[in-house]
Amino acid sequence: MENKEEFYEIIKEILEHEEFQKRKQFPHHGEETVYDHSMKVAYLSYKMAKKLKLDVKSATIGALLHDFYTTPWQTAPKVKRIRDMHGFMHPKIAYQNAKYYFPHLMNSKIEDIITKHMFPLTLKIPKYRESWIITTADKIASLSVFKKPKDLPKYIGIRGKKKVKK
Ligand SMILES: [Fe+2]
Ligand SMILES: [Fe+2]
C-alpha cells in the first residue's frame, strides 16, 4: 500500500532545500511549474515502484530530480543544433545539478533515471525498471497538461517559449 507519509519522508530533504524551492518559479508547461510537475512525476513513480515492489526510494528521488536543470528552459538562448536544444540537453544538466546539491543521495540507478528520462528522444535505453517507470510517468504527467497534439513539441522543449518573471 502506498502512503503519503513514506513518500514525504523520502523526499523531505530535497523538498525543503532552497535550490529545489526555486522550481516554484520555473514555468514548465502551460501554467504548471517545474515544482508541480516534478511532484506529480515523483508521486506517480512512487506509486508505480511500490506496486511493482521495486526500489521505491531511488525511483522517487530520481523522479523528483529528473527535471532539476539549472535555468528555466524558456529563457535559454536559441541554439542552432538540434542536439543542443533543451529536450536533449536537460537530462544531463539535471543530473549534474542533482549530483552537485545532493551527492549523498545519488546512485547509479538515479543517474540512469535522470539522464534517460527523455527516452526515446535521448537514444540511450533505460537500464533499470525504475528508469522505465520515470520516463513513463513523465510522459503521463506532461501529456495530461497538453490538451492538443500540436502542443507535443513543448514536451521536448522546442516550441512555445513564454516570458519568465525575473
Ligand atoms: Fe524532462
Ligand atoms: Fe519532466
Residue 130 confidence (pLDDT): 98
Give the distance (Å) from ligand 1 centre to CA of residue 36: 13
Which tens digit of pLDDT belongs to each residue from 76-105? 777 777 777 888 899 999 999 999 999 999
Task: Please name which ligand lies nearest the alpha carbon of 121.
Answer: 1
Alpha carbon of 117 to ligand 1 centroid (Å)? 7
The contacts of residue 58 (CB under 8 Å, 6+ apart) are 107, 109, 110, 113, 130
Is the per-residue pLDDT at 161 higher than 70? Answer: no
66 CA distance to ligand 2 middle (Å) = 6
Class of domain 4-155: mainly alpha
pLDDT band per the 50, 70, 90 thresholds, residue 18: very high
Ligand 1 centroid distance, CA of 103 (Å): 20
Distance 75 CA to ligand 1 centre (A): 16
Region of 30 please: left (phi>0), alpha (psi -120 to 50) or beta: left
Q: What is the mean pLDDT of residues 21-44?
A: 92
- Note the pTM of the prediction, 2 decimals: 0.87
The whole-number average pLDDT for the span 101-119 is: 97
More confident position, 149 or 58 = 58
Mean pLDDT throughout 40-65? 97
Domains of the chain, residue spans? 4-155
Q: What is the C-alpha separation between 37 and 106, in angstroms, rounded?
A: 21
Which ligand approaches the C-alpha of residue 138 most closely?
Answer: 2
pLDDT > 70? residue 34: yes
Distance 104 CA to ligand 2 centre (A): 23
Cell digits of residue 131:
528508469
CA distances from 141 to 11, 137, 160 (A): 18, 6, 18
